[in-house]
Amino acid sequence: MKRLLPLVLTSVLLLALLVVSCTQEAPKPATTPPTASKRKLVAVGEATFAPFEFMDTKTNKPIGFDIDLISAIAEASGFTVEYKNLDWNSLVAALNNKEADLIVSGMSITDERALEVAFSDPYFASGQAWAVKEGSPIKTMEGLSGKTVAVQINTTGDFAAQKIDKMLTEKGKKGLTIKRLKNAADVFNELKVGGCDGLVCDLPVVQEYLKNNPQDKVVIPEPAFTVEYYGIAMRKADKDIHELINKGLAKIKVSGKYDEIYAKYFGK
């Protein structure tokens, strides 16, 4: 038995070395020097946000408005882009540790976020909407008083729900209970199974959900109650990337390519 101990220790040591050697590998830089062949940028987003980014079930790749948009911008500005799916809460961290260069994920421009990241010019006008199940007694926003509302954590939907809560309590009514889920898909599922009375999410995303899932019988009683603009988030220091993006965005707006992409996802 005593002879076993050195063997065990050596195996453990070897295993530890193996693990350490794997994690020591520095992540490959996402960009190539501009003087070489076309510069490559990595864009990330959470692909659970149709029609902006979602997973194509056939090819298992992310597709959507945001993917088409950034590809068009890349073409107009002369760089290549790779779009990767990453969960919402990891997006800014990935940007900061250079795993990604761009966040293109239906991210609304807010003053708080602008303190940490640089935003491109706005590329989409959106707003938050609240939705309930068909036949729900809740007809107006005030009806949400005392109810449970599902939102995606750390999104403008989350912040908007907090504002509704504040508005209600300031009027002397009961606030609402906010249930924070990890991604938009979970939010819709929560309403579907009845774990909440309503949800708050970006209007275009809710509309897309209604369109694709008529059997779930979700309705939007009132128009969007906030005005927000999506922007592409980048590291503050990358002034050259800011220029590439804004110039590319301006080009495709002028050339009609933007309208083409818009019509593809939002046209009648």
Partner 1 sequence: MTYNLEIVAKYLPFLLLGVGVTFRFTVMGFFLGSFLGLSLALGRISKNPVLRLPCLWYIDFIRGTPLLAQVYLIHFGLPQVFGYRPVGSVDALVALTLNCAAYVAEIWRGGIESIERGQMEAARSLGMTYGLSMRFVILPQAFRRVIPPMGNEFIALLKESSLVSVIGLEDLMMKANMMAGRSFRPFEAYFTVALIYLALTLTFARLVGRLEGRLSSGHG
Binding site for partner 1 (CB under 8 A): 88-90, 92-93, 112-113, 115-117, 150, 153-154, 179-182, 186, 189-190, 192-195
Is the CB of residue 198 less than 8 Å from the CB of residue 146? no
204 preceded by cis ω (within 30°)? no
- Nearer of residues 31 and 189 to partner 1, judged by Cβ: 189
Closest distance to partner 1 from the beta carbon of 216 (Å):
11
Please report how many Cα atoms fall inside a 13 Å half-sphere around the Cα of residue 236, on the Cβ side.
Answer: 5
- Please give the torsion angle defined by the CA atoms of residues 14, 15, 21 and 24, in that order, rounded to the nearest 10 degrees: -130
81 or 178, CB closer to partner 1? 178
Tokens of 137: 């007694």
Residues making up the chain, counted from first to last:
268
Question: In whole angstroms, how close is the CB of 178 to partner 1 at the nearest point?
Answer: 9
Smallest gap from Cβ 214 to partner 1, in A, equals: 17
Q: Which amino acid is at 217?
A: K
Closest CB to partner 1 among 146 and 256? 146
Query: Contact 31/79 with Cβ under 8 angstroms?
Result: no
Least distance between partner 1 and beta carbon 177 (Å): 10
Nearer to partner 1, 133 or 251 (CB): 133
- Beta-carbon contacts of 253 under 8 Å, excluding residues fewer than 6 positions away, are none
Sheet of strand 62-63: strand arrangement: 48-49, 53-55, 62-63
The residue (of 98 and 180) whose beta carbon lies closer to partner 1 is 180
Shortest distance, position 210 Cβ to partner 1, whole Å: 19
Residue type present at position 30? A
